[in-house]
Structure 1
């Protein structure tokens, strides 16, 4: 993606996401939205915290009103948040961290001892309202008590925000395409690096470095060979690859907050008849899923179709809890394609479609692709060869 287009697009996307949040607030008569998960803080405020990307229990929150965006955050985030576009008087830092100098980003004294104290002060800035939407699962007990003492109706923000994020804005789609293509190139580099005697970890290092070189932040790098290919989300090891090994890739990265999730399978040398037939069944199931995806189709119908086709092609029983999921700022968004999900797919939503198979003692294989639900079908973002890849031995 051209850097000029990227920079301008990201700036506009921050404004567009906030407009979408505030538009729904106005429609529903909501006075404030309080979010505290990394995905929702980024969506609502435009600030992506490095600390929050590596610590899921990171204590911070964004409070959105029709007039302001307030950020309650550790003091180390003070200057980065201002750099991201937040106003200095809208950032409520807590704890000990110092930024020297005389600029508006300087921070030379503790302002609040704890998240709860900073949150209470930020909340006092909010005028009384009828309803507050708050991400309850991510807030401390004291923060929730501060909300309840105000006397307003408090509605959980988790489903509210997922619904808002479900259909993607145009530049969100562009970012998801970009991160998917980064990941595909990384898997291709990993397949090219694989050989008898090369370890899983060495292949994984190639995959991760390629994503980094493309501008992505590696997130899930599952590269497992031999019998360990049957382990769903496992770390790579120092075991050298051998002739006949399956080599399974389930890989993703983050690009300005947007995630990828792509899977391919290779075999070292020519596949056995069983390996080839099982993979053919999985690929047929994936292609059947892709063929029926479009707006208005029920997730449960997609599940039954995919599983049925895999079994029709000889891999039975094919037991899965899901065979796809929405993706965006989180790898797993809503809905997930399960046998019980009666949600109708929406145009403008983005999905990963997959057919994995894991058999301890034999091996594992999978194929997974990403794309956009449209009124007429499924626009694939991923384009690399999805056949069972053969690594010359």
Structure 2
């Protein structure tokens, strides 16, 4: 496996001015990116004898076609827009008044107006609306792929799914083929991933420079938002920036808590950035003005060790079970508060696969193979149960034919590693 010199990497990146990027679309063949992704979905459909898929998750629609429209709104109001995809036809049903947004996309053969089948849109007539919608969709699918063919669906409200079945459709879950398609990135697609990461690193550098005791968590977190949006990123998916005692346990959402002197500040980026790609790395900072305490440095060094041990064992062809068996052993005092995953896939969002800790594998784990082209985020949260602070660190990597390529380049904190 290719060796990674982590200390050299940190030294090379000590100057945050090195975190530069080209404009988001420079040197990227976006037509090739879209064609690859659409081909991946269709190939996974063929493997499972799925004649058509009806996608309503806006991330999956964007993956398959490049069509983007009110991503967060569409997630909350599914199905307000949806995509019917067969092996030779792509029909985007777009939100009212938005047909023009797909202009020029070679991945979309036709745009039609979406007919929203939800209680919000139909009120007490919802059952009739769902039945009419399902009948029209079943007729369309049958005309395209024949009677009795299998249709994959995801993210539909229950009434619409039931109505499709009652209209005679053979229904299966579309999550598996789409997730398996998204798991393997092309070289051109990786340019989009890296563009998103470089933009997010610029935002994190600005956040780090803005840290001052006396500001609130929300004020500090907003610095990242401003930078991401200014660079044409999409949004931040979670609210994971905490300071001081709110760093333990993890998963406390950003608040108006005032950052104190000499506290740890933990951040998980979770940025849906340039081209809709997820930039997902975690860092923990020190608020100053004094030096980090021995306890703070110990937490940081332990988290750093976990991340880099687990990055070091990753290799193509390794099974998920083999990874769990070889992964870093979490010390007993930190085990209860461990992060729920050891690593996870990353593309346009967090995705397949989930790699579990050894102790969690019997109940939650599943097997599979780590393959070249997968992008993974290797996680660590270290905080003792009942402790006053914790450290969150995470790195994003690409699995190559020979080993691992580091993708996230933001430096670690020397003052916390000494």
Residue 129 of structure 1 and its aligned partner are, at CA, apart by: 4.9
**Which of 40, 47, 64 is 1:20 aligned to?**
40
Is the Cα contact below 8 Å between 1:266 and 1:388 reproduced in 2? no
Instruction: Look up the SS of the partner of 1:30 in the other structure.
Output: coil
Q: Write the deviation string for residues 42-98 of structure 1: whole angstroms up to 9, x where unpaired.
A: 222331221555643421321112232112343143332346557685413336xxx
> Given the alignment, which residue of 111, 125, 128 partners 2:140?
125
For 1:272 and 1:306, the matched residues in 2 are separated by 28
Moved more, 363-372 or 62-71: 62-71
Q: Tell me the distance in 2 between the aligned counterparts of 1:6 and 1:53.
A: 29
| 1:232 Cα offset (Å) | 2.5
User: Residue 348 of structure 2: SS of its match in structure 1?
Assistant: coil
Residue of structure 2 equivalent to 1:37: 57
Unpaired segments ≥5 residues, structure 2: 1-20, 117-127
Partner of 1:100 in structure 2?
none
How many equivalent residue pairs?
371
1:279 touches 1:365 (CA, 8 Å); kept in 2? Answer: yes
Asked if 1 retains the 8 angstrom alpha-carbon contact of 2:399 and 2:405, the reply is: yes
Match of 1:178 among 195, 198, 208: 195
Aligned-CA RMSD value: 3.0
Q: Find the residue that maps to 1:134 and give its secondary structure.
A: strand
Q: CA–CA distance in 2 between the matches of 1:371 and 1:232?
A: 23
From 31, 43, 52, give the equivalent of 1:11.
31
Tell whether 2:184 aligns with 1:158.
Answer: no
* Residue 254 of structure 2, aligned match among 236, 258, 281: 236
Distance 2:199 2:354 in 1: 25
Alignment partners' CA distance in 2, 1:123 and 1:7: 42
Any stretches of 5+ residues in structure 1 without a counterpart? 96-112
Determine if contact 2:276/2:348 at 8 Å carries over to the other structure: yes
8 Å Cα contact 2:78/2:155 also seen in 1? no
Of 335, 356, 359 in structure 1, the residue corresponding to residue 354 of structure 2 is 335
Q: Following TM superposition, by how much is the alpha carbon of 1:119 offset from its aligned partner in structure 2, in angstroms? A: 5.3
Q: Deviations over 1:307-329 (max 9, x none)?
A: 41x539x8567744322111112
What's the CA shift string for 1:170-189, capped at 9, x where partnerless? 22222112212222222222
Q: 1:55 to 1:32 in 2, by over 3 A?
A: closer
* Paired residues of 1:72 and 1:119 also in contact (CA < 8 A): no
- Structure 1 residue 372 displacement after superposition: 0.5
Corresponding position of 2:85: 64
Q: Using the TM superposition, give the Cα deviation of residue 299 of structure 1 relative to its aligned residue in structure 2, in angstroms.
A: 2.8
1:204 and 2:250 aligned: no
Alpha carbons of 1:142 and 1:134: their partners in 2 closer, same or farther (altered >3 Å)? same
Select which of 255, 263, 269 maps to 2:282. 263
Aligned to 1:347: 372
TM-score under structure 2 normalisation?
0.78
